[in-house]
């Protein structure tokens, strides 16, 4: 911690007289959204947009869960005909696509979009209108592919649509085109979210929040955002190449003209492996946050935890060929990826031990969020172990494309992401709604999910070792797989009940839950320093911090930031390393242009599936929206304030 930081917050000890009521009233007026539907469509409030993401992603989670239930019903007994082969292919493809693209990444990013500004002590994300655009892109893509599914033109080539099956020769029609374009929509949204999170976390932190005082959840989201930036272009490029092979006869994946089927796999998995860490790393941030609160102490090993995340992020880009061990990539290359796949267990292991140390040294509170964290540790470690097994080429070759792999990735994804997510939903629900959820229902939700999950997926390890293949709609009775499959189906139904209980808990507590107040869990981070739910401007006076756990270490009289304008949407920009105040920055208010551009983008990418004129029409709409967006960027404060002028420094070029 530098001397300058100490000085900033020490000089903040200057006493100032504030008129909180007057400032609050002014902020309320400046930051409120226009009324009604128009206000809803044009809001740039990060909390409103993040809530939208979370609700939409949760609905997709339920849809994906229904698809899972359909798979499980079909597989519950041999030679079942509940779903015909074509419908089965669509259902498992939609299940994977929904869970990976429409639920997991969006909901994790949304938690970041809601809490990063609050945790760093600012009023909004850095680019409020861009944030709104991201949601519209996400919504368009998700709605588009589900409309296609309900019209029986859903994707049927798996969530990763390998060529040549998904190419023009073997998948005629529009099914795969809808999938490829959905990718474009969701990747735009993910990239937008990543840019917001990085810029907000780097440039808009509370004075005194030097990098070594940034909350672990914010670090996790920033690292995730960087991974998104480097990984998403690969899938955008490959899905566009697939769409162009199908629509305008490019030859990227056609071996007859020098194209390469393996090119698809390389490009897809170069994205696809980091994708699972993009889902997992935010969850590690959730785990650190919840473990800290419910052990009543700071997480053990702050620096080790962050370095582990950075290491995971880097190594995660060096793993992708482990999805391709059953292809003809050279053996020496395969060995390299085996090594990297085993090595990545090390930073994950370091994190687990840091968390165990936190639990050991702390005072455990077995509230619902903590139960999910304990469940995470058990389930994720099991999934990690089968992952290390799969990293070995000889074993992978035996169980590739069997249910062993299905078991592995559900253990790491549900254990590693869904359990922490449900813990976080119970934890932050009071901040969103102002009311506590029922502990009793919460514990029931946890135990049913834990038991149901293991009942569903543990047998799949054995089924995989016995050779049951993935993505085949049924199996013969004589193979003897019937009993375990039935067990798995029963487990899936139990998971369904637990999710239902969660929904009941949510609905009930909205009406009759105990009022939460600002900080019902007595937690340490800044989102708990304001009301539940927070006002649109987050804090009347933005906080300053001196430690990693501001609410535990500061008393009532913690210094705050004063002097920001309340007649326009002004925030404080600080410098990157030590968060010293740098300048004031005006954010835009509500705007229709994100909706307009979202519409333009949707028209472009959907119409182009059917005709190249989509580009022309869409380009015009997008151009109009962009001109409007730019032209409406007028600062309110030009008329209000006079600012000191000075020459820019050399390093500002």
Nearer to another protein, 226 or 458 (CB): 226
User: What are the tokens at 300?
Assistant: 């053990």
Q: Which of residues 373-432 bind another protein (CB under 8 A)?
A: none
Tokens of 185: 């929509």
The separation between the first and the last C-alpha atoms of the chain, rounded to the nearest angstrom, is: 29
Neighbours of 169 (CB within 10 A): 14
314 contributes a contact to another protein by CB under 8 A: no
- Within 267-306, which residues bind another protein (CB under 8 A)? 267, 270
Which residue's CB is nearer to another protein, number 20 or number 511?
A: 20
Closest distance of CB 610 from another protein, Å:
19
362: left (phi over 0), alpha (psi -120 to 50) or beta: beta
Identify which of residues 150 and 631 has a Cβ nearer to another protein in the complex. 631
Which of 360, 515, 514 is CA-nearest to residue 440? 514
Q: Mapping DSSP to helix (H, G, I), strand (E, B) and coil, where does residue 150 land?
A: helix
Q: Which residue's entry shows tokens 């007649």?
A: 567
- 245 near 176, Cβ under 8 Å? no
Q: Does residue 637 belong to the site contacting another protein (CB under 8 A)?
A: yes
**DSSP character for 402?**
B
By the rule CB under 8 A, 639 interacts with another protein:
no
Query: In this chain, which of 26, 251, 508, 547 binds another protein, going by CB under 8 A?
Result: 251
198 binds another protein (CB under 8 A): yes
User: In this chain, which of 77, 266, 466, 471 binds another protein, going by CB under 8 A?
Assistant: 266
Asked if 601 interacts with another protein (CB under 8 A), we say: no
Q: Per-residue x/- mask for another protein, residues 571 to 590, rule CB under 8 A?
A: -xx-x-----xxxxxx----
Q: Which stretch binds another protein (CB under 8 A): 243-251, 380-388, 451-459, 596-604?
A: 243-251
Q: Which helix (H) or strand (E) element contains residue 584?
A: strand 581-586
Closest distance of CB 236 from another protein, Å: 7
Binding flag, residue 247, another protein (CB under 8 A): no
Q: How far is the CB of 106 from another protein (least distance, A)?
A: 18
207: phi then psi, degrees, rounded to nearest 5: -55, 135
Q: Provide the 3-class DSSP secondary structure of residue 99.
A: helix
Q: Which of these ranges, 50-58, 108-116, 476-484, 635-643, lies near another protein under the rule CB under 8 A?
A: 635-643
Give me the DSSP letters along 133-196: HHHHHHHHHHHHHHHHHHTT----STTTT-TTTTSTTTS-SSHHHHHHHHHHHHHHHHHHHHHH
Q: Select from 41-49, 106-114, 191-199, 397-405 the region that touches another protein (CB under 8 A).
A: 191-199
Is 620 a binding residue for another protein by CB under 8 A? The answer is no
Give yes or no for residue 233 binding another protein (CB under 8 A). Answer: yes
At 623, is the secondary structure helix, strand, or coil?
helix
Binding status of residue 190 toward another protein by CB under 8 A? no
| Largest separation between any pair of C-alpha atoms in the chain | 84
Told to check if 229 binds another protein by CB under 8 A, we report yes
CB of 251 to another protein, least distance (A): 5
Residues 207-226, interacting with another protein (CB under 8 A): 207
Cβ-in-10-Å burial (0-12, 13-18, 19+) of 262 comes to: middle
Cα 427 from chain centre: 17
Question: Residue 544's CB: how many other CB atoms inside 10 A?
Answer: 21
Part in contact with another protein (CB under 8 A); list of ranges 112-120, 526-534, 569-577, 600-608: 569-577
Q: Is 508 a binder of another protein (CB under 8 A)?
A: no
Contacts of 284 (CB under 8 A, 6+ apart): 220, 305, 309, 351, 420
By CB under 8 A, name the one of 21, 37, 303, 332 that touches another protein.
21
511 contacts another protein (rule: CB under 8 A):
no
């Amino acid at each position: 911690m530098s001397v300058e930081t100490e000085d900033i917050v020490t000089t903040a000890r200057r006493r100032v007289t504030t008129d909180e009521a007057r400032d609050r009233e002014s902020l309320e007026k400046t930051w409120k959204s226009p009324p009604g539907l128009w206000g809803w469509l044009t809001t740039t409030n990060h909390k409103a947009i993040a809530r939208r993401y979370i609700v939409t992603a949760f609905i997709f989670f339920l849809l994906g869960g229904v698809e899972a239930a359909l798979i499980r019903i079909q597989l519950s007994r041999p030679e079942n005909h509940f779903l015909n082969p074509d419908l089965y292919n669509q259902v498992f493809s939609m299940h994977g696509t929904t869970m990976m693209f429409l639920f997991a990444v969006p909901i994790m990013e949304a938690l970041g979009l809601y809490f990063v500004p609050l945790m760093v002590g600012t009023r909004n994300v850095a680019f409020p209108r861009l944030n709104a655009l991201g949601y519209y892109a996400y919504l368009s893509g998700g709605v588009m592919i589900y409309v296609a599914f309900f019209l029986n033109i859903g994707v049927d080539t798996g969530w990763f649509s390998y060529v040549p099956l998904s190419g023009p020769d073997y998948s005629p029609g529009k099914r795969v085109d809808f999938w490829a374009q959905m990718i474009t929509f969701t990747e735009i949204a993910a990239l937008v979210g990543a840019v917001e999170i990085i810029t907000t976390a780097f440039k808009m932190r509370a004075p005194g929040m030097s990098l070594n005082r940034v909350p672990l959840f914010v670090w996790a989201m920033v690292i995730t955002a960087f991974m998104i930036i480097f990984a998403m272009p690969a899938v955008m490029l490959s899905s566009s190449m697939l769409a162009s092979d199908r629509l305008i006869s490019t030859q990227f994946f056609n071996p007859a003209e020098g194209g390469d089927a393996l090119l698809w796999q390389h490009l897809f998995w170069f994205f696809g492996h980091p994708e699972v860490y993009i889902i997992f790393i935010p969850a590690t941030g959730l785990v650190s946050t919840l473990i800290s609160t419910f052990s009543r102490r700071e997480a053990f090993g702050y620096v080790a935890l962050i370095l582990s995340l950075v290491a995971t992020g880097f190594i995660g880009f060096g793993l992708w060929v482990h999805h391709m061990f059953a292809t003809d990539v050279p053996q020496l290359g395969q060995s390299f990826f085996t090594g990297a796949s085993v090595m990545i267990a090390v930073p994950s292991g370091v994190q687990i031990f840091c968390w165990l140390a936190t639990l050991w040294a702390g005072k455990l509170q077995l509230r619902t969020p903590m139960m999910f964290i304990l469940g995470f540790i058990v389930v994720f470690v099991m999934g990690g172990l089968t992952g290390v097994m799969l990293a070995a080429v000889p074993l992978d070759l035996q169980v590739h494309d069997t249910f062993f792999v299905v078991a592995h990735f559900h253990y790491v994804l549900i254990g590693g992401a869904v359990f922490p997510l449900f813990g976080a939903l119970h934890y932050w629900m009071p901040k969103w709604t102002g009311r506590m959820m029922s502990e009793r229902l919460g514990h029931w939700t946890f135990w049913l999910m834990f038991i149901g999950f293991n009942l569903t997926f543990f047998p799949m390890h054995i089924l995989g070792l016995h050779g049951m293949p993935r993505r085949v709609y049924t199996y013969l009775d004589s193979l003897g797989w019937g009993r375990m499959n039935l067990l798995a189906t029963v487990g899936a139904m139990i998971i369904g009940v637990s999710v239902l209980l969660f929904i009941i808990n949510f609905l009930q507590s909205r009406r009759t839950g105990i009022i939460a107040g600002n900080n019902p869990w007595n937690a340490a981070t800044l989102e708990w320093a304001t009301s539940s739910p927070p006002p649109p401007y987050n804090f009347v006076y933005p906080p300053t911090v001196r430690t990693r756990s501001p609410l535990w270490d500061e008393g009532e009289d913690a210094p705050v930031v004063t002097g920001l304008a309340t007649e326009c949407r002004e925030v404080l920009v600080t410098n990157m390393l030590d968060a010293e105040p740098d300048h004031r920055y005006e954010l835009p208010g509500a705007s229709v242009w994100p909706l307009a551009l979202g519409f333009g983008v949707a028209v472009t990418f959907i119409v182009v599936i059917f005709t190249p004129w989509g580009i022309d029409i869409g380009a015009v709409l997008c151009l109009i929206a962009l001109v409007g967006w730019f032209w409406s960027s007028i600062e309110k404060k030009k008329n209000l304030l006079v600012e000191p002028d000075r020459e820019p420094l050399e390093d500002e070029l």
